[in-house]
Amino acid sequence: MARTRSELRSIVEANIGRTDKTTQINLGLDLGLEELCRYHEFRDLITSVDLDLIDTSLSISDATWSEATLTLTKASGFSSYSFEEGDEVTVSGGTGVTAGDYVIASATSDSLVLEESIGSGADGQSDISLSQIFNPRFFELPSDCLHLKELRFIDGTSSYPIDIRDKKWVVDRWPYVESLSKNKPVVGYVEDNKFWCYPVNGDSSYVVRATYVKRVSAFSGDSVENPVPALDYALSCWATGFVFDSIEEFAKAASWYGRAASSLLKAIKEDKRTKIIRQMDPFTTEKTYESPTPWLDPFVKRSS
Number of domains the chain contains: 3
Q: Please identify, among 111, 134, 157, the residue that sits at the C-terminal boundary of a domain.
A: 134
Q: Please identify, among 134, 153, 169, the residue that sits at the C-terminal boundary of a domain.
A: 134
Chain centroid offset of residue 259 CA = 34
Same domain, 147 and 129: no
Same domain, 60 and 130: yes
Q: Give domain status of residue 287, yes or no.
A: no
Q: Please identify, among 96, 112, 134, the residue that sits at the C-terminal boundary of a domain.
A: 134
Q: What is the mean pLDDT of residues 105-132?
A: 96
Same domain, 125 and 150: no
- Among 129-133, 161-165, 270-274, 290-294, the least confident range: 290-294
Q: What is the mean pLDDT of residues 262-280?
A: 78
Same domain, 89 and 30: no
Same domain, 226 and 195: no
Q: What is the mean pLDDT of residues 2-11?
A: 95
Give the side-chain half-sphere CA count within 13 A for 254.
3
Task: Please confirm whether the linkage preceding 282 is cis (ω < 30° from 0).
Answer: no
Q: What is the mean pLDDT of residues 240-250?
A: 96
Distance CA 11, CA 27 (A): 15
Model confidence pTM above 0.85: no
Same domain, 203 and 220: no
Q: Give domain status of residue 282, yes or no.
A: no
Q: What region, left, alpha or beta, does residue 196 occupy, with left being phi > 0 and alpha being psi -120 to 50 degrees?
A: beta
Same domain, 174 and 161: yes
With contact defined as beta carbons under 8 Å apart, do 56 and 140 qualify? no
Range of the domain at 119: 55-134
Q: Give domain status of residue 69, yes or no.
A: yes
Q: Give domain status of residue 98, yes or no.
A: yes
Distance CA 122, CA 128 (A): 8
In tens, the pLDDT along 144-171 reads 999 999 999 988 888 999 999 999 999 9
With contact defined as beta carbons under 8 Å apart, do 83 and 55 qualify? no
Helix (H, G, I), strand (E, B) or coil at 243: helix
Q: Give domain status of residue 264, yes or no.
A: yes
With cut-offs at 50, 70 and 90, classify the pLDDT of residue 39. Answer: confident
Q: What is the mean pLDDT of residues 262-287?
A: 70
Same domain, 129 and 68: yes
Any idea what the CATH number is for the domain that residue 76 is in? 2.40.30
Same domain, 210 and 220: no
Q: Give domain status of residue 296, yes or no.
A: no
In tens, the pLDDT along 121-132 reads 999 999 999 999
Q: Give domain status of residue 92, yes or no.
A: yes
Q: What is the mean pLDDT of residues 40-50?
A: 93
